[in-house]
Amino acid sequence: MKQPLTIEEENIIQQQYKLLLEHCHRCNDPSEKALIEKAFKIAYEAHKNMRRRSGEPYIMHPLAVARIVSEDIGLGVKAIVSALLHDVVEDTDITLEEIAHLFDPKIASIIDGLTKIRELFDERSSLQAENFKKMLMTLSDDVRVILIKLADRLHNMRTLDSMPRDKQIKIASETIYLYAPLAHRLGLYSIKTELEDLSLKYRYPEKYHEIEQKLAETAQQRDEFIAQFIKPIQESLNKQGIHAEISGRLKSIYSIWNKIQTKHVTFEEIYDLFAIRIVFDPLPDIPEKAQCWNVYSIVTDIYTPKPDRIRDWISTPKTNGYEALHVTVMSQQGSWVEVQIRSRRMDEIAERGYAAHWKYKSPDSHESELDKWLRRLRELLSDPNSNALEFIDDFKLNLFSSEIHVFTPKGELKTLPKDSTVLDFAYEIHTEIGNKAIGAKVNHRLVPLNYKLSSGDQVEIITSDKNRVQREWLDIVITAKAKTAIKNTLKSDIRNRIEKGQMILENKLKELDLKPSSRIFQKLLPAYGVSNKEELYSKIGSDLITLDELPKILRKNAKNKWVRYWEITLGLSKADSDNGNQETDTEKYTPKSPFILKENPDEKTVSYTIASCCNPIPGDDVIGYRNVFNSIVIHKSKCPTAVKLLSSQSERIVPTRWTTHKLFSFLTKIAITGIDRFGIFNQITTVITKELNINIRTIHLSAHDGIFEGEIEIYVHNINDVNRLVTNLTKIKGVMKANRVENFEE
């Protein structure tokens, strides 16, 4: 879209550019500001009269990205220049060679990385696994590419209103599945939080605005409480000469929604809607760690701490570089409040992440946990043979996981995700150690490879040169490094077996004066019950198939059941091989129209199945996933599997719509809790079966200490049945809560 700029728009652009320069804290030298001005003028002229889908001048986008890069992430001049120019090579006639000549090769290299990403994935297309892997590969060259891309994604999310609804959902799903976790791992807390909130806003707008409104309604009461809580702490800090800023930080809308979903509580039942943050200016010549504990002592002199809710991330920072001391204390009003204690340096690292981490890093400092994570990521990316979808799964595993700290026999500290096993630890030490591991001694006690480690464990791996990697190990490990190493070893073994089998088969055919051909494989594959050449070679190489019957099989012309199986599997017939793929009578699905979930589909309708991971029922917000057999699998739109599919295989996603279902029943689960009394169990079953005429599949209710809780699996026709049941159950005297269990598996 092209349209000349108005005078008002010109003024707004100049105002935004002025703000960029004013808030550029790392642009002290006049030559640096001159470089930014040069980049702005080039971008301004290159994008002149160009407009975004929203209608705003296109130059506003690179300006906004540059401000995020500078103000929110804290990067320097080269990154700001790259952000201003990040779209010119893609959208205009300016070349990378011209950028290198006008600025320097490093800026051209960063823009090249961003341009390659743009070619592979922009707001007009959904994220694919291979593209995301290629994007992460730029970490090996310059992490600023990823940081600028996160800024680009943040501004696109801020301006997502102009996109069609289906694009909004796809982009928001990509964001929550990969971008928010990536921002978290790089320590960009504020960006991660905003990406999560914006993703929720576009995926579930009603839920977002409902929580937003409730937060607004309770704001005055909350502000009064925070002011009253802070006052004695501030006075005590002032007396001791400690200069500190104390504020109440509200929990994000996404984290509130997530807690409501996972804990099955209401908004009113969430007590930790905010945390108190103390950011102090450290005194010289006194270790920051000691000063943090001094502030902790001041706080706990005023308020009683909760012993099991102290978190010390000063002694052992998080993998993303986060350092702080957290303590939960009892307020004067009788409610628990979390207090976070940080120095000014710690606060900047917590908010700005990677860039601030490097700002404070000295040349002789040890490798940080963030450095180690980036190094492990580069190791994962260095494998040219890894499957992209598998890579994304493994990468995602270690993005948001909590961490434990374990020790080698010599006392070296290793950081691993929570629930890591002995085998994960072995691969963390070295791939060969993992491949040869047969067990371990944890705290001098013999344990198996699947033993789960805890923080503080000391681990000694026991190995054997005769040991071989087992496929079952993939179910034991959780770290991306271990999974990748195991898969690579297994693939190597398979390749060796395939090569051996291929050689055996070719030699056997040579004895019969034959060469491998498609005609020969059409006879061999069904005869040996395998689906492809690789499987045939592998089984021959593993001695699972002998070729004694080979001459007899090749002479056989009649089709047996395996031949028919093979044709059905591939959708082949003789006509296919002669004339190409045959047309079937199956109704064709066109992606532009919704797939209708009929109760009684006819033979010509594409079949569909209900996903067992989330068990949607009529009335639920759902999506369809077209699998390799052209069948549609129906998931709830908020099912984790659905979010993953939207992010990695969006071309297979099918918009769906329910029709009225009156005959068939769908399985769902209700969680129920309440005050135990005589006859309440009987009353619950009566309401379900007699009053509402709903069939119960299973019911598990147990009572202890005057409280009962349990789960009921029932068959319903649609979401209205569930809502009616929940309403009627909560009317029973003693029933405190009844709610549908989301994403349960049969």
Kindly give the pairing relationship between strand 459-463 and strand 244-250. Answer: unpaired
CATH of the domain spanning 369-488, picked from 3.10.20.30, 3.40.50.261, 3.10.450.50, 1.10.10.10: 3.10.20.30
pLDDT bucket at 374, cuts 50 / 70 / 90: low
Cα–Cα distance for residue pair 118/124, rounded to 1 Å:
10
Query: Coil, strand or helix: which one is 1?
Result: coil
State what percent of residues in the chain have pLDDT above 70: 82
- Rounded average pLDDT over 86-104: 85
CA 500, distance to chain mean position in Å, is 40
Catalytic entry in 90, 142, 371, 621? 90
Strand partners, 398: none
Domain 213-358 in CATH 3.40.50.880? The answer is no
Strand partners, 667: 715
**Least confident range of 6-20, 564-578, 635-649:** 564-578
| Fold match between domain 7-203 and domain 213-358 | no
Residue 571 is predicted with a pLDDT of: 42
H-helix or E-strand spanning residue 647: helix 640-648
* pLDDT value of residue 123: 42
Strands 274-280 and 336-343: what pairing? parallel
Closest to 104 (Cα-Cα) out of 142, 53, 149, 161? 142
Please tell me the predicted confidence (pLDDT) of residue 409: 87
676's enclosing H/E stretch is: none
Name residue, tokens 């491949």: 435
Q: Phi and psi of 128, rounded to 5°?
A: -110, 150
Provide mean pLDDT across the span 320-335. Answer: 87
Which one of 1.10.3720.10, 1.10.3210.10, 2.60.120.380, 3.30.465.10 gives the CATH number of domain 7-203?
A: 1.10.3210.10
What is the reported pLDDT for 665? 79
Q: What is the dihedral of CA 51, 56, 62, 67, to 10 degrees?
A: 180
Q: How high is the pLDDT of residue 383? A: 56
Beta strands in 464-619 (DSSP E): 595-597, 608-610
Alpha-carbon distance of 193 to 154, in angstroms, equals 11
Top-confidence range, 196-200, 269-273, 634-638, 709-713: 196-200
Which of the given ranges, 76-90, 202-216, 468-482, 488-502, has the highest pLDDT on average?
202-216
Give the chain's largest Cα–Cα span: 99
Pick from 80-84, 582-586, 592-596, 622-626: least confident = 582-586
Mean pLDDT over 408-415 rounds to 82
Residue 601: band (very low, low, confident or very high) from pLDDT cuts 50, 70, 90: low
Q: How much of the chain exceeds pLDDT 90, in percent? A: 23
In this structure, the number of other CB atoms found within 10 A of the CB of residue 505 comes to 22
Could you say which of 32, 91, 98, 390 is catalytic? 91
Averaged pLDDT, 107-126: 60
- The answer to whether 99 touches 51, Cβ cutoff 8 Å, is no
Other Cβ atoms within 10 Å of 535 Cβ, number: 17
Q: How many residues does the chain have?
A: 746
CB 177 within 8 A of CB 396: yes
Please compute, for residue 631, the number of CA atoms within 13 A of its CA located in the half-sphere on the CB side. Answer: 10
Q: In degrees rounded to 5, what are phi and psi of residue 249?
A: -100, 120
Active site residue 288: no
pLDDT of residue 401: 57
What average pLDDT score do residues 629-645 get?
83
On average, the pLDDT of the chain sits at 81
How far is residue 344's CA from residue 321's CA, in Å, rounded to a whole number? 14
How do the domains of the chain map onto residue ranges? 7-203, 213-358, 369-488, 504-579, 595-658, 666-740
The whole-angstrom separation of Cα 526 and Cα 560 is 8
CA 321 – CA 346 distance, rounded (Å): 9
The lowest-confidence range among 249-258, 289-298, 452-461, 626-635 is 626-635
- CATH value of 666-740 in 3.40.50.740, 3.40.50.150, 1.20.1050.10, 3.30.70.260: 3.30.70.260
Catalytic residue status for 432: no
Q: What pLDDT sits at residue 181?
A: 83
Assess whether pLDDT exceeds 80 at residue 120. Answer: no
Taking alpha carbons only, the member of 346, 318, 314 closest to residue 327 is 314
Q: What is the pLDDT of residue 193?
A: 92
Helices 388-397 and 640-648, packing angle to 10 deg: 130
Each residue of 297-312: b (16+ CB within 10 Å) or e?
Answer: ebbeeebeeeeeeeeb
Of residues 723 and 2, more confidently modeled: 723
Q: For 162-200, how does the pLDDT look when each residue is reduced to its tens digit (9 = 90+)?
A: 888 888 888 898 888 878 888 887 778 889 999 999 999
CA distances from 55 to 14, 78, 159, 171, 564 (A): 18, 29, 11, 20, 58
Q: Taking Cα atoms as reference points, which of 682, 672, 680, 686 lies closest to residue 733?
A: 680
Q: What is the pLDDT of residue 399?
A: 56
